[in-house]
């Protein structure tokens, strides 16, 4: 029963924050919602580990010479590898990124997309005493920084060259990343499907590190790049299974109702924490606050 409640609750919130839902003729999977710009971060949202500490927080990428030849690398390592080593790698729970190396300058770069406020905040919302609707700290963004930590990626994961691109293709990709980063702003942990079978309907797609890598590969292919891997690439997804979702309304029409205000107070009492930033339905402090990815 508890699991069923969580599934329904998350379906509602996923629709609210990250998709464009046409309740007259729903299209499955529901398209991810794009925005005109990235909003300011609410001061309530805090990160134990700062986002993109050595790179450009806005995803800006320096131009390279059009004549340069750039090696492209597939990067994959266990989630939370910096803290737990290969523990989650044994369960095939991986984080994905892309590496680049300039032949003209010898400079190496890493590009990844991840949560601004750690994974737990992108998976479950908070209940705030001054806000009726569940509150999310679930922005995600691209981080581009100089260097490739060879040991971090290769020791328990993958560091593999998958192709080469020109400096011109790299610069065009960089402009695409900037636009993608400003319009696709919310991290989605869950992939929601009708059932585990091969012919299941996907209600909502995840929007995470691996999806960013896939989008970037597709863009590079559109620009004429030839990318290939010698090994099979597996990506991590977390699935929820649900009947067909129904559009119920927006925040004010749902959580502004007197009956749900009462439910909101009951839920807040049930999930009271000494730490005001701890999210609703936590599994442990490590899960929510102690790791970038």
For the chain, the structural domain boundaries read 7-38+45-289
Give 137-193 as a DSSP string: --BEEEEEEE---HHHHHSSSEEEEEEEEEHHHHHHHHHHHHHHHHH--B-B-EEEE
Query: Looking at 16, 52, 95, 143, which residue is catalytic?
Result: 95
Question: Could you give the CA distance from residue 191 to residue 242 in angstroms, rounded to a whole number?
Answer: 11
Catalytic (active site) residue 16: no
Whether residue 164 contacts residue 71, with contact meaning beta carbons closer than 8 Å, is answered with: yes
Task: With CA atoms as reference, report the closest residue to 73 among 140, 149, 143.
Answer: 149
Write out the chain's pLDDT in tens, 293 residues: 222 223 333 444 444 445 555 556 678 998 899 999 888 889 999 888 899 999 987 778 999 999 999 999 999 998 878 777 888 788 788 899 999 999 999 999 999 999 999 888 888 888 888 777 888 899 999 999 999 999 989 888 899 999 999 999 999 999 999 999 999 999 999 899 999 999 999 999 999 999 999 999 999 999 999 999 988 777 778 889 999 988 777 777 777 766 565 555 555 443 444 344 444 333 333 233 222 33
Angle at 163 between CA 210 and CA 214, to 5 degrees: 20
Which residue intervals of the chain are DSSP H helices? 2-18, 81-84, 119-123, 150-154, 167-183, 209-222, 251-255, 258-270, 285-289
Question: Could you give the CA distance from residue 158 to residue 152 in angstroms, rounded to a whole number?
Answer: 9
Question: Could you give the CA distance from residue 15 to residue 32 in angstroms, rounded to a whole number?
Answer: 9
Q: How many CB atoms lie within 10 A of CB 226?
A: 11
Catalytic (active site) residue 95: yes
Pairing of strands 140-146, 108-115: antiparallel
Instruction: Supply 94's token pair.
Output: 């991986």
Buried b / exposed e along 230-269 (16+ C-beta atoms within 10 A): eeeeeebeeebebeebeeeeeeeeebeeeeeeeebeebee
Instruction: Supply 171's token pair.
Output: 């610069």
Question: Could you give the CA distance from residue 165 to residue 69 in angstroms, rounded to a whole number?
Answer: 6
The whole-model pTM stands at: 0.79
Question: Could you give the CA distance from residue 77 to residue 55 in angstroms, rounded to a whole number?
Answer: 19
Question: Could you give the CA distance from residue 39 to residue 156 in angstroms, rounded to a whole number?
Answer: 36
Cis bond upstream, residue 63 (ω within 30)? no
Asked whether the CA dihedral 114, 119, 122, 126 is positive or negative, the reply is negative
pLDDT at site 235: 77
> Strand, helix or coil at 265?
helix
């Amino acid at each position: 029963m508890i699991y069923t409640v969580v599934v329904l609750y998350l379906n509602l919130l996923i629709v609210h924050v990250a998709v464009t839902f046409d309740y007259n003729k729903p299209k499955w999977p529901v398209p991810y919602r794009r925005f005109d710009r990235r909003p300011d971060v609410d001061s309530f949202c805090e990160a134990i580990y700062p986002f993109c500490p050595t790179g450009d927080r806005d995803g800006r990428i320096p131009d390279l010479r059009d004549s340069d030849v750039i090696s492209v690398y597939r990067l994959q390592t266990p989630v939370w590898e910096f803290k737990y080593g290969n523990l989650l790698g044994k369960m095939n729970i991986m984080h994905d990124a892309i590496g680049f190396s300039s032949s003209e300058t010898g400079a190496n770069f890493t590009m990844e997309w991840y949560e601004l406020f750690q994974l737990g905040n992108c998976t479950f919302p908070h209940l705030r005493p001054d806000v009726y609707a569940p509150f999310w700290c679930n922005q995600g963004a691209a981080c581009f920084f100089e260097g490739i930590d060879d040991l971090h990626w290769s020791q328990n994961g993958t560091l593999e060259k998958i192709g080469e691109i020109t400096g011109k293709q790299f610069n065009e990709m960089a402009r695409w990343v900037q636009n993608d980063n400003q319009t696709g702003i919310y991290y989605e942990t869950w992939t929601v499907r009708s059932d585990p079978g091969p012919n299941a309907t996907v209600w909502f797609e995840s929007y995470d590190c691996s999806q960013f890598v896939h989008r970037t590969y597709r863009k590079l292919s559109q620009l004429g790049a030839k990318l290939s891997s010698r090994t099979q690439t597996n990506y991590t997804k977390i699935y929820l299974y649900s009947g067909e979702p129904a559009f119920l309304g927006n925040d004010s029409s749902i959580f502004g109702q007197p009956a749900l205000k009462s439910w909101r107070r009951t839920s807040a009492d049930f999930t009271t924490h000494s730490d005001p930033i701890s999210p609703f339905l936590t599994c442990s402090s490590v899960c929510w606050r102690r790791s970038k990815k």
